[in-house]
């Protein structure tokens, strides 16, 4: 016998599936936005599993468009997409994926563009971290020196060492390496 919470979850999942189908049929952005925002992990997973196959592609299309339109809300939308793709993988493999209007193709292009930007940002962050750490070292060297003459010389010597370290870090950094 099912517990009260299990029955309640099943009812909620059924309600979310019905609402999602209604949002897809009517192309109701407000209803879809509410569905994408409110659901828990378990409900997203169960809803994706219960969604009829004929609504998979329209749902993916709407979610991919939503992801592209509202990138700040990507965490929940990506979670929805993951559950939907996992639960409908066999259906998605059986359809023609070469069409330009295919939502999976569109999603792949979108993620590839984000991945490129993310790689650039990771490289930039690494370089900024190195520069900031080298500035801190220079500051420590100049504070620790006893004579003004030494403090003028040390940053120059230190900068050569720092440049060598920067080049070594950039060469060794797995994030920076090109594919």
The stretch 109-133 carries a mean pLDDT of 76
Q: Is the pLDDT of residue 16 over 50?
A: yes
- Check residue 83 and give its pLDDT: 92
Is 131 among the domain residues? yes
What is the reported pLDDT for 99?
Answer: 73
- What pLDDT score was predicted for residue 22? 93
Enclosing domain of residue 99 = 10-138
Looking at residue 49, its pLDDT comes to 92
Position 72 in a domain: yes
Assess if residue 149 is contained within a domain. no
pLDDT at 26 over 70: yes
Task: Name the DSSP letter for residue 99.
Answer: S
Task: Judge contact between 26 and 35, C-beta under 8 A.
Answer: no
Give the pLDDT mean for 64-75: 84
Domain annotation covers residue 126: yes
Q: What mean pLDDT is reported for the chain?
A: 75
Which residues contact residue 158 at a Cβ distance below 8 angstroms, ignoring those fewer than 6 apart?
A: 134, 137, 138, 141
Query: Given this model, what pLDDT does residue 152 score?
Result: 43
167 within some domain: no
Does any domain span residue 173?
no
Token pair 């490129």: residue: 116
pLDDT per residue as tens digits for the range 131-170: 767 666 665 555 555 544 444 444 444 455 655 665 565 5
Confidence band for 67, pLDDT divided at 50, 70 and 90: confident
- The tally of domains found in the chain comes to 1
Give me the half-sphere count of Cα atoms (radius 13 Å) on the Cβ side of residue 23. Answer: 22
Give me 46's structure tokens: 């169960």
The answer as to whether 161 is a domain residue is: no
Phi-psi region of 27 (alpha: psi -120 to 50; beta: other; left: phi over 0): left
How much is the pTM? 0.61
pLDDT in tens, 97-113: 677 678 888 888 888 88
What tokens appear for 100 in the block? 């330009």
Closest to 35 (Cα-Cα) out of 83, 3, 2: 83
pLDDT at 172: 55
CB 53 within 8 A of CB 91: yes
Mean per-residue pLDDT for 35-56? 87
Query: For 98, phi and psi rounded to 5 degrees?
Result: -90, -10
Q: Flag whether 104 is in a domain.
A: yes
């Amino acid at each position: 016998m099912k517990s009260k919470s299990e029955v309640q979850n099943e009812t909620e999942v059924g309600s979310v599936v019905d609402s999602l189908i209604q949002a897809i049929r009517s192309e109701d952005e407000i209803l879809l936005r509410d569905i994408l925002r409110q659901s828990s992990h378990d409900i997203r997973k169960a809803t994706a599993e219960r969604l009829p196959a004929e609504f998979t592609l329209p749902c993916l299309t709407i979610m991919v468009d939503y992801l592209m339109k509202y990138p700040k809300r990507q965490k929940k939308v990506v979670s929805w997409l993951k559950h939907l793709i996992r639960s409908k993988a066999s259906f998605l493999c059986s359809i023609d994926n070469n069409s330009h209007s295919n939502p999976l193709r569109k999603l792949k292009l979108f993620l590839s563009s984000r991945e490129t930007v993310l790689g650039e940002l990771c490289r930039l962050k690494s370089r900024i971290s190195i520069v900031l750490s080298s500035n801190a070292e220079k500051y420590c060297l100049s504070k620790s020196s006893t004579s003004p003459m030494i403090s003028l010389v040390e940053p120059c010597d230190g900068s050569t060492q720092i440049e060598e370290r920067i080049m070594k870090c950039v060469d060794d950094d797995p994030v920076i390496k090109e594919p």
